[in-house]
Chains A and B, each alone.
Chain A
Amino acid sequence: MTHFQLNCEGMNCPMPIVELTKAARSLEVGQKIEVTATDLAFKPDLEAWARRMGHTIEQFDEADDKSHAIICLGSKK
């Protein structure tokens, strides 16, 4: 299944989380978002957002100041 692609590179807090929320609202439970971001707080913010909203971070990695994550959407969008 193709993941929804979201490029948040160059965006500062809180915009990556705002864009993730917009994307999540347009998708169904169980669908996945693949996101890249460069905000320094992206990892803790993503974790807080996912816990709060019931999503699962299936993959997270960082390289060259760029974060990459795959999120599986839960029921609370």
Chain B
Amino acid sequence: MMNDRSSVSRTHKLKKFVTDGAGRLIIFMTCAVLLWAFFSVFIIERPDRYLPSPLAVILSSADMIYKGSLLSYYSDTLTRLIFGGVVGILIGIPIGLMLGLNRTIADMFYPLMNFFQSVSGIAIFPVVVIWFGNSDTTVMIVILYTSFFPIAFNVLSGVRAVPVRYIQAARTLGASRLQIVRDVLLPGAMPSVAVGTRLSVGFAWRAVIAGEMLAGRPGLGNMIFSGQELDNTAMILLGMVMIGITWIILDHYLLRPLEADTIERWGLVQR
């Protein structure tokens, strides 16, 4: 009897682990790493040059951790990402909101926004270098610039997409313009804020890597770049893996819980 029950609960736990978000993630990652190892060890000739195995990558990182360079690269890159990205998003949300609320302002600034949105961060890079040199400021400005547009445009269209019915209902309850913004337009635009944030952080990631490569600032992007020059493929892969894993963690522990508490709870999006 006892044995029976414990085995039932064990399979239950296993099932829960498999269907749980984190469990699924771990299983998926394990499979990906195994597949990578399989290719590296059995299929590819000269894996150290073309596709080093996961173990080789970890060993190269151990070497770099020991020297202390990996950690400093990683923290440099993250700092740039967080400052540039967060500032870009924090500027983008109110500006998108303002454009969404006021037709006149929107008509004035929309063409300008469109113009700059089409000019990618990399394209403005040379000008920023002329202004600020190959500095951290340059990288930060490019990240900020790149992460600004997705969030601003999404908030803008999110505010406009809030059903007129909600606004009318609030007005008949006696809401002022400011109260409508607070109680109706802001929460109504939340799905778009979520999408925009996701896009902005994604774009900021790309900008930070490209910016470091072009400006030659130490960081993960630069590490990947110099990996190619030094013919150290393990170093390149290490940089890629760290970028990817960081993004997964950011997404899982920062963005997803935020969405779960708001737009999913309100039934505005389906999980």
A binds B: no
